[in-house]
Structure 1
Amino acid sequence: MGCGKTTNPNGSRNSGCVCDVVRAILDIQNQAVRDECSPCTANCFLEPLGGIMSPSRNHADTRVFMLLTNDGSPFKAFFKTKHGESDFCTSVFFRVEDMFDDCCATLRVLEPEDHHHKTVDLLGDDGCCIDMGKLCDVKHWQSTESCITVDLSCFCAVQCIADVDLNICN
């Protein structure tokens, strides 16, 4: 059995909290309801969308999040840049697009950008692992055309990063 998964006495499996959190993020993105209360700025369940942004409550259509694997490292995926800086880059930032089959999701890979809106290359010198220090350089995100389908029951944690407006058409 993996992290966050349990088996019921009847043999069926519970999907775990990562599935519940990502499902809640999708619901919040889809609702886009305005509420002026902001009790906590780091809670993935915080409504409405835009509640993670502080101090202003600008329009937002995306809750940016990361998924963490069993060893605590960020899950990464590839994307093709729009800026032509490189053919493919790696990101650990996602937007949920859809959920299906109880705990599967289609995630849009988000392009991490620095304060100059330049792509942040998150890979370390080894070309394999994420350089955790480079995560601090990320100040903005850009939507990409790259999507990935994942089984959310394979992850141990989800961390919400920010609410942003990516001009996503729903």
Structure 2
Amino acid sequence: MLLILPLALLWSYKEIQSQFHQPQAILVLGGSTRKLEREKFTADFARKHPNLPIWISGGSPPSVTRKVFTKAGIDTKRLHLDYRANNTVENFTTLVGELENTGIKSVYLITSDFHMRRATVVGEIVLGSRGITFKPVPVPSDNSPEPLAKSIRDGVRSIVWVATGYTGGNQLPNEH
């Protein structure tokens, strides 16, 4: 019971803090089960936010991704494509340093709706460890939310990364 109050206060603080930071970039987690779903959604979203750089971790091959954005009228100079991640935790851990180094304090986080709970857990831990907030922007789908166990597992892996720099990714299959 004593642990619940500090966690609730921390969550409330995070909610208030995120409202003061207008997102400075778009962060997309690739790996959608339906090809190009997240990229097409993001291209449309990016048209409404023309001054924001777009960071994509994983996803479709670079030439395909660039074609989607070009077709949507988005300048591909806005794209920062990264293919180092093999799983959701690494989607965050491979880019958080670059986001931090460019002075980004808040991002729009785009991923599929069924994946958002896990992405939010990992994002709170990994991005939060560097003072970066985010606003979730779910891509609609017909899929059921992922099992809670995946969020718990990746939350623990994220805490281990914050403490040690190790993601545990070598031992897990691609988890997108």
TM class by shorter chain equals under 0.3
Which protein has the bigger strand share? 1
Which protein has the bigger helix share? 2
TM norm structure 2: 0.26
TM norm structure 1: 0.26
